[in-house]
Amino acid sequence: MALASHMREARRVIHELASMGPDGPPFVSLYLNTKWSDEHQRERARLFLQRRARDLRDEWRGRPDGEDAARSLDSTMQWMTRYIIEQGDPAESRWDGFALFVSGGRDLWVAFRARVPIENELEIERQPRLLQIAKVMADHSPAFVVLLDGRWVRIFEVALGAVLVEVDLEQYLPDRVDSGDRGPFAKRFSTRVGPAALARGDGLSQMRFQRHIRDHLEHNLKTAAELLERLSGHEGRAPVVVCGENELRGLFRRLVSGALRGRIAHESKLDSKAPRHQVVDMAVRALNEATHQQRSQEIDSVLGRALGSGTSAVLGTEDTMLALNQSRLHTLYLDDSSGVGQGWRCMSCAAFGHKAETGCPFCRGRTTTVDLLQEMTRRALFNETRVITVSGHPRLRHYRGMAGTLRRGLSPPSPRVGYATHEPLPPT
């Protein structure tokens, strides 16, 4: 499972980025949409980079670590410009977007590629901007696609719109009766076997043969189900897409555990020999839709819970930020269209909040101005809180676009006003 650790590795790197304090050398954060359908779009991306880089150079010129910032920017630009130039036909771009984090002063250079939409963004700040990457990770957390055939099983682990792991398993399925008799019925099974075909045919030997095949088929599908359970065990909540003929899917559904059955997000007739890119495209499309609906329902249910007993969830700016400051959140829900704006962050205890403060109300330390959505995302990623972002959720907007669920066994923060942090400081 070497490749499965890829996703874990990505999460680890993002956690590391989230733990970079505001005191160190500057960071370049670049998000670039590279889903170009023609030369004009590619040219627009090039222009965006040039203009934004020029503005940033002006902004950082003369500052104490301006040279450091310029060096990181040069390295970012060189790499990205090369990508833009070297990429052949824009219509054939395999990647829809890049996220790049560069800090020469910290000796850090990290790139993520994804086949998901990304908005252009180029900034130099003391800390990396992680909102978009958190969104990409949450929207495209690992999913599993299983392609069924009578004897073939292909299982893909898909994340960030690309295949991380592919496992192919070929199993035995009898294509002739034991006597060696090869009728036209048997021949049909030699290439492709489905239970629908099993229903055809008559005569005792064929009935016995049918049972024989069905036993093998069930055995094969059971093995496939077990393999899927094992492969997806490390991603307990990951959705599953099942592909194959109707009857095979039905049989498979009956054979998997209840927990896995509950994770089936989509079913498709996609052929088991479909090329990889087709599998990925289908999965990404199906999962986007399923995820979107699921998110909306999840938020509705959280809002309902918060308004009901009020014990396991928090709503709105004050309570959500306080719970986040205290590392109490299991999941953070953010509406990125809420326009929550700027806030402060304490330079010594790392607490943050949204009201203008001249000093940290908790430790009286010096504060700095931060983009609140970015700061909340960073804190959540640092706390290993799950981050779910949506845009324009009708009910979440009433609570200034934020809510959260508490970690198991925790009750809402008390007192319910003010800010505090009991967590050790992020390493700087």
Contact residues: Zn ion, CB under 5 A: 346, 349, 351, 360, 362-363, 365
Contacts of 120 (CB under 8 A, 6+ apart): 31, 32, 33, 45, 48
SS3 for 269-324 is: CCCCCCCHHHHHHHHHHHHHHHHHHHHHHHHHHHHHHHHCCCCCEEEHHHHHHHHH
Q: Between 194 and 361, whose beta carbon lies closer to Zn ion?
A: 361
Shortest approach of Zn ion to residue 325 CB, angstroms?
10
Q: What are phi and psi of 312, to 5 degrees?
A: -115, 0
Q: Between 144 and 362, whose beta carbon lies closer to Zn ion?
A: 362
For residues 62 and 38, is the Cβ–Cβ distance under 8 A?
no
Q: Which residue has the tokens 């400081």?
A: 425
Shortest approach of Zn ion to residue 426 CB, angstroms?
13
Whole-angstrom distance, CA of residue 376 vs CA of residue 379: 5
Find, among 100, 98, 97, 137, the residue nearest to 117 by Cα: 97
Q: Which two tokens stand for residue 202?
A: 């008559």
Sheet of 402-406, strands arranged across = 313-315, 402-406, 329-335, 386-390
Q: Between 185 and 362, whose beta carbon lies closer to Zn ion?
A: 362
CA 415 vs. chain centroid, Å, equals 34
Q: Between 137 and 349, whose beta carbon lies closer to Zn ion?
A: 349
399 secondary structure, DSSP code:
G
Contacts of 48 (CB under 8 A, 6+ apart): 32, 120, 122
Q: Between 146 and 346, whose beta carbon lies closer to Zn ion?
A: 346
Q: Between 5 and 368, whose beta carbon lies closer to Zn ion?
A: 368
Contacts of 108 (CB under 8 A, 6+ apart): 101, 102
Find, among 51, 134, 194, the residue nearest to 333 by Cα: 134
For residues 358 and 416, is the Cβ–Cβ distance under 8 A?
no
Q: Between 49 and 351, whose beta carbon lies closer to Zn ion?
A: 351
Q: Between 241 and 360, whose beta carbon lies closer to Zn ion?
A: 360
For residues 353 and 410, is the Cβ–Cβ distance under 8 A?
no
Shortest approach of Zn ion to residue 343 CB, angstroms?
13
Instruction: Quote the strand ranges of 197-286, DSSP E.
Output: 240-243, 264-268
For residues 284 and 115, is the Cβ–Cβ distance under 8 A?
yes
Shortest approach of Zn ion to residue 425 CB, angstroms?
10
Q: Between 158 and 322, whose beta carbon lies closer to Zn ion?
A: 322
Shortest approach of Zn ion to residue 411 CB, angstroms?
24
Whole-angstrom distance, CA of residue 302 vs CA of residue 139: 18
Shortest approach of Zn ion to residue 321 CB, angstroms?
14
Shortest approach of Zn ion to residue 344 CB, angstroms?
10
Q: Between 351 and 406, whose beta carbon lies closer to Zn ion?
A: 351
Shortest approach of Zn ion to residue 385 CB, angstroms?
20
Shortest approach of Zn ion to residue 156 CB, angstroms?
47
Shortest approach of Zn ion to residue 360 CB, angstroms?
3
Shortest approach of Zn ion to residue 370 CB, angstroms?
13
Q: Between 17 and 351, whose beta carbon lies closer to Zn ion?
A: 351
Helical pair 131-139 and 5-18, crossing angle rounded to 10 deg: 160
